[in-house]
Structure 1
Amino acid sequence: MIYITTTWSWFCLAIAVLLLTTFIMGQLSKQFYTMHIVLRRFSIIDLEFPAFKGEIKEMVKDIYRLDPAESQRTLWALRKHLWVDFLFMPAAYGSNFLVCMNVAGKLNCSGQTFYVALAWAQAIPWILDVIENIYLLNSLHPSVKAFTPIGLKAWQWLEKFKWGLSLLGMVSGVSALLYFWLTGRYLTSSLPYLAILIGEVLVFIIISLLSASKKQATPLT
């Protein structure tokens, strides 16, 4: 029986789940189409960063302007993408947490306090991400309403905090982690975990390239 007892083991597991869910969401996003004057593709980022208060409303309505079969396929893929994202969240924010806590263990005083605070702060973007997904899932109907000016501002600040804190945790944690590895601050016993992480990333890249070489989903006619 294998017991997962170390931070590195949990980190490897989190990265594996993160890459798997990223791949699944990438495949689902190939089916995102909308009819805005002409047929075009869109991404989840378009919904996360609307340029004006009625953009999400217009985008959803444009999905319903598609051929009924294509409209249902896009809505199905979009809903599945958002549900898979709920599995992505603990892997993404959890890996940030583990990295920051691991780095904190190598530091003293203010540096340790910063990374511990940054680790626990990953709960904030996780919560904001959940709020975002719930809102989008509840907006996938023809009668969706546009944001009010205050609502749009709140949405934009939600995205800024979500992406800002998560990217700060990832960049700060990974850069410090690499520094400690390069300067010999970690024992050689941690090297197998580094090999596992590299292997996971390579498998993800290979599978993604093989998938990209296949014909992408095309709209029904």
Structure 2
Amino acid sequence: MLAVSVRAQGQEATANRTLLVKLVPQYVVVSGYWLEVEKSWKQHPRQSFIFTPQLYAGHVGQPDARTVPSITDSKETVRGAGAQLQHRLYLSATQATYPAGLYVSYGPNFQHFTVSGREIGWIEVQGPTGLPQYEYSEGPRSETINRYGATAQIGYQAPLHPGRVFLDLYAGIGYRESISRSDSKKIESQYRTGSSDYGHEGLYFPAGFKIGVALR
């Protein structure tokens, strides 16, 4: 225990770079762009606070192999934003000039999506006599999704020598709720086929890696 204490104190004394910025590349497959900012707590160097702004823009990704026959998948787009807040505690320390080593973290998150596309179904149109009639054709479809929840993670932040660049590996468990609203006549969200889909709710298991740099 004395050895662990000495090691931790040594890390606290040398961790003079307290602002870290990281990219989270795996969300690009669903047109998501995450940037994580970590700031150490001055009074407690082995603890830090993390803010992760999220932007979604582009074609709808389908990592869960979603297949909905009534939707023309190739024309779907997603726009959205989100944020995640976390408190992180380093359990072990490496001899780096910034926070590194084994850690646990936890915190809430919120996301907002608008998914637009073309849907095949019955659409009300004006007939030749001026009266409304229905025809089976393709028309626009839009669904708005709000999702919120929380996660707990364990990971390891490893320096890549030499320099300030590092790798952050993590895995964890989370829970989220999802509320959707659609202009389609379908009541159920069509974006809940798996944990990577935009409207998923319930338990999920976040895991992946981040590439970062210590700024100051």
Would the TM-score normalized by the shorter structure come out above 0.5?
Answer: no
Place the TM-score, normalised by the shorter chain, in its bin.
Answer: under 0.3
**Between Structure 1 and Structure 2, which shows a larger proportion of helix residues?**
1
TM-score (norm 1): 0.21
**Between Structure 1 and Structure 2, which shows a larger proportion of strand residues?**
2
Higher relative contact order (CA 8 A, sep 6+): 1
